Structure 1
Amino acid sequence: MEECIVDTQRSVVFYGAITVDGYLARENHSLDWLFGTEGEDESSYPEFSKTIDTQIMGRETYEQVLLLSPEGLPDDGMKHYVFSRTRNNDPEAPVEFVQGDIPAFVRKLKTEPGKKIWVVGGGKILRPLLEAELIDEFVIQLAPALIGRGIPLFLPGDYDSRLELIDVRRFGQFAEVVYRLK
């Protein structure tokens, strides 16, 4: 009798919006450039959200989420991990704080059964994942704004990846590009 082998490798996806000049937020973490633009209420997020069950982010991104949504993260059944050197787990929080090696943690998540893993936020989380070649896909909405300085999506690092364009969509004034690692 042959043994059935199940492939449990999950995809890791960066999904988020940036300015045309590549910034996630202003230096003070403001997202004012994102709001008030035609199409801000339209996106591929409703369909994307059906493909994910795990979210990872850094502490700074988590704190910005709490500022934008004082009610906190929704109780949506998704597992939320926040990398932090300073915060510890709180049984009341809907997140699990994680310390340590980001790529090792994500490699472990990839072997567990589940849906896609969503990387939220900036370069401090993204760079080590890029360097370890753990990002499988990018879904990036380009907002029609140039802000000149801020928090960049891509920090300098030791990575050199080729991507394949999968899709381009328009949501009002936003362009969404989807790339997959070759």
Structure 2
Amino acid sequence: MRKLVYYIATTVDGFIAGPDGADPTGPGGFWPIPEDYLRHLIAEYPETLPGPARQAFGIDGEGARFDTMLEGRHTYEIGLKAGLTDAYPHLRHLVFSRTMRESPDPAVELVSTDPVATARELKRHDGKDIWVIGGGALAGALYDEIDQLIVKLAPLTIGTGIPLFGREAVFAPRTWNLVSHTVLDSGAIFLTYDRSA
């Protein structure tokens, strides 16, 4: 069965964005993107790069890990503000929103129903794994359904911001098994955890 994978960058103090939720890697952002980090993304997770970045680096074809992505409206709107109606045209792209009435792009599927039911249905079908891109609120809603965490831990603290599972996450302790890790010279660490049984 396909896995639901929360693949996300976080600070050492557990935040995926600043308090305003803006793109921390965009213009004026605070997130470091060292060269070895970018090389690792291209080599190991090329499908998680947005379409324009893939073009710039000459990346094409299907991804190795994911063929579908789930995104919350706030995260999707970051791409819209940058002029991208579908930042990931190489993936099936579902955006969860109860307020958007029409998709700005014919390839982007708007979902207004329960994300848990949608994730469960997607996991039943054959295919590559399903990437939960964020934001934290969507990841928090899908907390019980997430099978794997791939955490890109930045050597960075910010003090406050959007937590890994959003501001509305419930208290529900869970253990995870570390199945792989990569430490880069720049200090970033890629940690892959499978949910404990």
Question: TM-score band, normalised by the shorter chain?
Answer: 0.7 to 0.9
TM-score by length of 2: 0.78
Quick one: distance in 2 between partners of 1:90 and 1:178?
Answer: 33
Aligned residues: percent identity? 33
TM-score by length of 1: 0.84
Whichever structure has more helix as a proportion of its residues is: 2
Q: Would the aligned equivalents of 1:82 and 1:95 in 2 still touch at CA under 8 Å?
A: yes
Quick one: distance in 1 between partners of 2:85 and 2:38?
Answer: 20
Match of 1:122 in 2: 135
Residues 160-179 of structure 1: matches in 2 within 5 Å?
160-171=173-184, 172-179=186-193
Q: Residues 14 and 36 of structure 1: is their aligned pair in 2 closer, same or farther, counting only changes over 3 Å?
A: closer
Which string of whole-angstrom CA distances, capped at 9 and with x for unpartnered residues, describes residues 36-57 of structure 1? Answer: 5453413345434311110001
Q: Would the aligned equivalents of 1:56 and 1:119 in 2 still touch at CA under 8 Å?
A: yes
The one-letter amino acid paired with 2:19 is: E
Q: Would the aligned equivalents of 2:85 and 2:105 in 1 still touch at CA under 8 Å?
A: no
Q: Would the aligned equivalents of 1:38 and 1:173 in 2 still touch at CA under 8 Å?
A: no
Quick one: distance in 1 between partners of 2:151 and 2:82?
Answer: 20
Backbone CA RMSD of aligned residues: 2.1
Structure 2, gaps ≥5 residues long = 48-63
Structure 1, gaps ≥5 residues long = 1-8
Compute the displacement of 1:161 (Å).
1.4
Quick one: distance in 2 between partners of 1:74 and 1:117?
Answer: 13
The one-letter amino acid paired with 1:18 is: T
Which of 38, 41, 57 is the equivalent residue of 2:38?
Answer: 41
Quick one: distance in 1 between partners of 2:148 and 2:40?
Answer: 17
Equivalent residue of 2:142, what SS? helix
Residues 1-182 of structure 1: matches in 2 within 5 Å?
9-28=1-20, 29-31=22-24, 32-37=29-34, 39-44=36-41, 46-48=43-45, 49=47, 50-68=64-82, 70=84, 72-76=86-90, 78-90=91-103, 92-130=105-143, 133-155=144-166, 156-171=169-184, 172-182=186-196
Quick one: distance in 2 between partners of 1:68 and 1:41?
Answer: 20
Q: Residues 167 and 68 of structure 1: is their aligned pair in 2 closer, same or farther, counting only changes over 3 Å?
A: farther
The one-letter amino acid paired with 1:138 is: L
Quick one: distance in 2 between partners of 1:39 and 1:143?
Answer: 12
Quick one: distance in 2 between partners of 1:46 and 1:120?
Answer: 19
Match of 1:4 in 2: none
Equivalent residue of 2:39, what SS? coil
Quick one: distance in 1 between partners of 2:161 and 2:30?
Answer: 11
Equivalent residue of 1:66, what SS? helix
Question: Aligned residues, how many?
Answer: 171
Q: Would the aligned equivalents of 2:16 and 2:136 in 1 still touch at CA under 8 Å?
A: no
Whose Rg is larger? 1
Compute the displacement of 1:69 (Å).
6.3
Equivalent residue of 1:146, what SS? coil
